[in-house]
Amino acid sequence: MAVAKTLAEKVWDAHVVRKGDGEGANAQPDLLFIDLHLVHEVTSPQAFEGLRLAGRKLRRPDLTIATEDHNTPTLDIDKPIADLTSRTQIQTLRNNCAEFGVRLHSLGDAEQGIVHVVGPQLGLTQPGMTVVCGDSHTSTHGAFGALAMGIGTSEVEHVMATQTLSLKPFKTMAINVEGTLRPGVTAKDIILAVIAKIGTGGGQGYVLEYRGSAIRALSMEARMTICNMSIEAGARAGLVAPDQITYDYMDGRPHAPQGADWDAALKYWNTLRTDDDATFDVEVDLDADTLEPFVTWGTNPGQGVSLSARVPFPEDFGDENAKAAAERALQYMGLEAGTPMKEIRVDTVFLGSCTNSRMEDLRAAADIIRGRQKDPNIRMLVVPGSARVRLEAEAEGLDKVFKDFGAEWRFAGCSMCLGMNPDQLEVGERCASTSNRNFEGRQGKGGRTHLVSPVVAAATAIRGTLSSPSDLDPAPESAAIRTDAA
Amino acid sequence: MEKFTTHTGIGVPLRQSNVDTDQIIPAVYLKRITRTGFEDALFSAWRKDPSFILNQAPFNAGSVLVAGPDFGTGSSREHAVWALKDYGFKTVLSSRFADIFRGNSGKQGLLAAELAQDDIELIWKELENAPGAEVTVDLPSKTVSCGSIVAPFEIDDYTRWRLLEGLDDIGLTLQHEEDITAYEATRPAFKPTTLPARLS
């Protein structure tokens, strides 16, 4: 009988080009084939240069795709990029892609956008694949049952030259989320709660598999939100077994298999689940029934609490390092321990990033704000994840909902998630952000970030303080709050 | 890649956990298209504070960074490793490294040595009591020494071997090019390709 395997082990084994020599602790890394290499302007220039200097070719241009996202402006995209270094970096990507024959979706193209939004949208991300990108949020693609990992620039060059990666074996962790999410509680709250539970280093060395009835009930876009932030728990990757929801999402996308290929693919995809008698190295349980909207108070994604809770006291942390980190975080965030989270007033709301910038995210936020008024002191940026998402949202009239509300409707890109373009926080400015990192200075020097879900972002924009949809007065034409959205 | 065997240099105690790569090098410096010249970018936000450890002699001449747990978390930017190297660091000691950072270090000849947190605490005390004290990191024996402290460290055998030999990863892999070609021939037809491009 075949050895029982987890999903991650099955995908791994299907891609071994060459098994590493040795056993156990002395095992050398396996050489794995990479099915899809996603490229963007920030982590690729030095890799292309490395190829050029060594006289090497790009082995598989047909398994490589590039887009412009990190540096791109979200205003005036028809004009030359004002920042000279950004413009140079974008131009370098264009030159490199032309030289090496890489498909590129540039600013202004309907398929341009955040690399982790573009791949799934085109149907290039499929179950059972290995996907890499010089970006830590590559874990997003795990939502399809793919093994998807962020890599550094040296590894980008390695994949370009060989279409493989040398990878050390991983450990497996099951994240079991059972139950039903309450209205207003979303995938974002699940993953923020998971990270708070296991910590920013808790997943280190592991591939996480999200399982259980609450995960099965989620849409693909919601699953992407969860897998996206696996890296924030330190994990090498995170994935969800494919099912009918996955297949329905795939069907008809430009690069989805067609005809007989679809049937063959489906047969394979149906084998992509953890065997009943397989064991995980670690299992973690989370109760979906009792979960509340979750929000961060500190400067790493593990420093989070329920929105109904208070800013914690450093003394509450047993570990000396965690206590010191909490003290430092409170100082940076300008918060007093014991303050109810819901009394924290914010200046800016950012709806966007590879975590929460897809159609469902925009719809969920629009459903909250429709027919309501924005707090006049709040600045709200809505940045669709891709040009395609922006077009679809406009076809549904969501742009009008956001604009009527007083939010800024921008062009696609990474934007304020990391502030490589002009979308940045000022010193001391406080932001409720649907992005993934609340690190010091992440969204702009001295900026203060609270990570939230799209519906919490929307409710916060209305009330001016961190809020959940359930804190709002009924709106005249309020639509039902979606529970399936990210 | 340069070979790494043993390094001795001034130890810098960085008493902080969760030093993410956004702190090591903020995103604004990632717009450059070169692989060197990032020394000004290292910890640039923190270096604006005169009391920051790298603004104090003799630590500003340090080459062994001794950090708290969960060093190098967050973004995959290899620029973090380049910035540490360009500043003059040869090795980083921590009780836990983020996976991607550890991988990037190994590719660039920066030794990421994993020590027990208790040993990190002892070295911190030693470096604070005797500023300018040197730390020796010996890769063949996988030990760190500082004053009277001698502590073992962990590093995977493959990375250790590559560092000791100064081997280029791509060159090693291309020795197995036939295996790659053989694998490619078995790849199922239903798997997608990016070319020719199909659009919505």
A436 contacts: CB under 8 Å, gap ≥ 6:
A137, A228, A229, A232, A301, A353, A354, A355, A417, A451
Q: A310 near A341, Cβ under 8 Å?
A: yes
Residue ranges for chain B with pLDDT beneath 70: none
Give the position of tokens 């270090």: B105
CB contact under 8 A, B75 and A136: yes
Chain B stretch 19-78, residues whose beta carbon is closer than 8 A to a beta carbon of chain A: 20, 22-23, 26-28, 30-35, 45, 68-70, 73-78
Residue-by-residue DSSP string for B125-181: HHHHHSTT-EEEEETTTTEEEETTEEEE-B--HHHHHHHHHT--HHHHHHTTHHHHH
Q: A450 near A364, Cβ under 8 Å?
A: no
Q: Tens digit of pLDDT for each residue in A325-334? A: 999 999 999 9
Q: Tens digit of pLDDT for each residue in B62-75? A: 999 999 999 999 99
Residue-by-residue DSSP string for A142-158: GGGT-EEEE--HHHHHH
pLDDT, residue A484, reads 47
Interface test with A, best of B31, B79, B81 (most A CBs within 10 A): B31
Other beta carbons less than 10 A from residue B9's beta carbon: 18
pLDDT, residue A485, reads 46
A57 touching chain B per CB within 8 A: no
Interface test with A, best of B24, B95, B159, B191 (most A CBs within 10 A): B191
Q: Tens digit of pLDDT for each residue in A362-395? A: 999 999 999 999 999 999 999 999 999 999 999 9
pLDDT over 70 percentage in chain A = 97
Q: A461 near A431, Cβ under 8 Å?
A: no
Residue from the list B100, B193, B197 with its beta carbon closest to the beta carbon of A150: B100
**For chain B, give me the number of helices (H) and strands (E)?**
7, 7
B109 touching chain A per CB within 8 A: no
A262 touching chain B per CB within 8 A: yes
Pairing of strands A408-409, A64-67: unpaired
A214 contacts: CB under 8 Å, gap ≥ 6:
A177, A178, A179, A180, A181, A190, A288
Closest-CA distance, B106 to chain A, in angstroms, reads: 10
Residue from the list A64, A134, A441 with its beta carbon closest to the beta carbon of B22: A441
Q: Tens digit of pLDDT for each residue in A55-68? A: 999 999 999 999 99
Over residues A148-170, the mean pLDDT reads 97
Closest residue of chain A to B21, computed from CA coordinates:
A439
Enumerate the residues of chain B whose CB falls inside 8 A of the CB of residue A88. 31, 33
pLDDT, residue A22, reads 78
- Please name the residue ranges forming H helices in A199-237: 213-216, 220-228
A134 touching chain B per CB within 8 A: yes
pLDDT, residue A25, reads 60
DSSP 3-state of B188:
coil
Enumerate the residues of chain B whose CB falls inside 8 A of the CB of residue A164. 173, 180
Tokens in use for A282? 């670690």
Residue from the list B15, B30, B78 with its beta carbon closest to the beta carbon of A154: B78
Q: Residue A428: which of A450, A448, A451 has the closest Cα?
A: A448
CB contact under 8 A, B17 and A322: yes
B167 touching chain A per CB within 8 A: no
CB contact under 8 A, B76 and A136: yes
Residue A65: enclosing H or E segment and its boundaries? strand A64-67
Over residues A173-180, the mean pLDDT reads 98
Closest residue of chain A to B15, computed from CA coordinates:
A321
Least confident of A120-124, A412-416, A472-476, B141-145: A472-476
Q: Which of B105-125 are b and which e, b meaning 16 or more Cβ less than 10 Å from the residue's Cβ? A: bbbbbbbbbbbebebbbbbbe
Q: A324 near A300, Cβ under 8 Å?
A: no
Tokens in use for B53? 């450890």
d(CA A218, CA A244): 11
Interface test with B, best of A204, A270, A323 (most B CBs within 10 A): A204
Other beta carbons less than 10 A from residue A483's beta carbon: 18
d(CA B151, CA A472): 57
Closest-CA distance, B33 to chain A, in angstroms, reads: 6
pLDDT value at A103 more than 90? yes
Closest residue of chain B to A442, computed from CA coordinates:
B22
Q: Would you put residue B112 in left (φ > 0), alpha (ψ -120 to 50) or beta?
A: beta
B47 contacts: CB under 8 Å, gap ≥ 6:
B54, B55
Q: Residue B31: which of A421, A108, A435 has the closest Cα?
A: A421
Chain B stretch 128-147, residues whose beta carbon is closer than 8 A to a beta carbon of chain A: none
Q: Which residues pair with A133 in a beta bridge?
A: A38, A150
pLDDT over 90 percentage in chain A = 93
Over residues A178-205, the mean pLDDT reads 97
Q: Tens digit of pLDDT for each residue in A394-411? A: 999 999 999 999 999 999
B186 touching chain A per CB within 8 A: no
Rounded to 5 degrees, φ, ψ at A167 are -130, 135
Closest-CA distance, A38 to chain B, in angstroms, reads: 10
Tokens in use for A65? 């795709």
B96 touching chain A per CB within 8 A: yes
d(CA A166, CA A159): 10
Residue from the list B16, B74, B183 with its beta carbon closest to the beta carbon of A439: B74
Q: Residue B197: which of A118, A368, A476, A209 has the closest Cα?
A: A118
pLDDT, residue A477, reads 52
Distances (CA, A) of A82 to A17, A78, A88, A254: 45, 11, 10, 34
pLDDT value at A73 more than 70? yes
Enumerate the residues of chain B whose CB falls inside 8 A of the CB of residue A445. 26, 45
pLDDT, residue A191, reads 98
Side chain identity, residue A149: M
Tokens in use for A269? 């995809």
Residue-by-residue DSSP string for A351-369: E-TTTS-SHHHHHHHHHHH
DSSP assignment letter at B27: G
DSSP 3-state of B184:
helix
Average pLDDT, chain B: 96
Q: Residue A68: which of A437, A445, A420, A442 has the closest Cα?
A: A420
Residue from the list B32, B76, B103 with its beta carbon closest to the beta carbon of A85: B32
A200 touching chain B per CB within 8 A: yes
CB contact under 8 A, A122 and B200: yes
Q: Tens digit of pLDDT for each residue in B8-46? A: 999 999 999 999 999 999 999 999 999 999 999 999 999
pLDDT, residue A1, reads 56
pLDDT value at A483 more than 80? no
Count A/B contacts: CB-CB distance under 8 Å.
Answer: 221
Average pLDDT, chain A: 95
Q: Which of A232-268 are b and which e, b meaning 16 or more Cβ less than 10 Å from the residue's Cβ? A: bbbbbbbbbbbbebbbebbeebebbbeeeebeebbeb
Cα-to-chain-centroid distance, residue A479: 27
pLDDT, residue A318, reads 85
Closest-CA distance, B58 to chain A, in angstroms, reads: 25
Over residues A447-462, the mean pLDDT reads 98
Interface test with A, best of B15, B32, B33 (most A CBs within 10 A): B33
DSSP 3-state of A241:
coil
d(CA B12, CA B60): 8
Rounded to 5 degrees, φ, ψ at B85 are -65, -45
Pairing of strands B91-94, B111-114: parallel
Closest-CA distance, B156 to chain A, in angstroms, reads: 8
Tokens in use for B12? 């810098």
d(CA B54, CA B71): 17
Q: Which residues pair with A204 in a beta bridge?
A: A235
Residue from the list B34, B76, B198 with its beta carbon closest to the beta carbon of A135: B76
CB contact under 8 A, B179 and A31: yes
DSSP assignment letter at B60: G
Distances (CA, A) of A297 to A310, A322, A332, A365, B35: 9, 14, 11, 22, 35
Chain A stretch 295-334, residues whose beta carbon is closer than 8 A to a beta carbon of chain B: 299-300, 321-322, 324-325, 328
Q: Residue A326, CB half-sphere, CA atoms under 13 Å: how many?
A: 20
Over residues A104-120, the mean pLDDT reads 97
pLDDT value at A259 more than 70? yes
pLDDT value at A481 more than 80? no
d(CA B138, CA A20): 26
Q: Tens digit of pLDDT for each residue in A279-312? A: 999 999 999 999 999 999 999 999 999 999 999 9
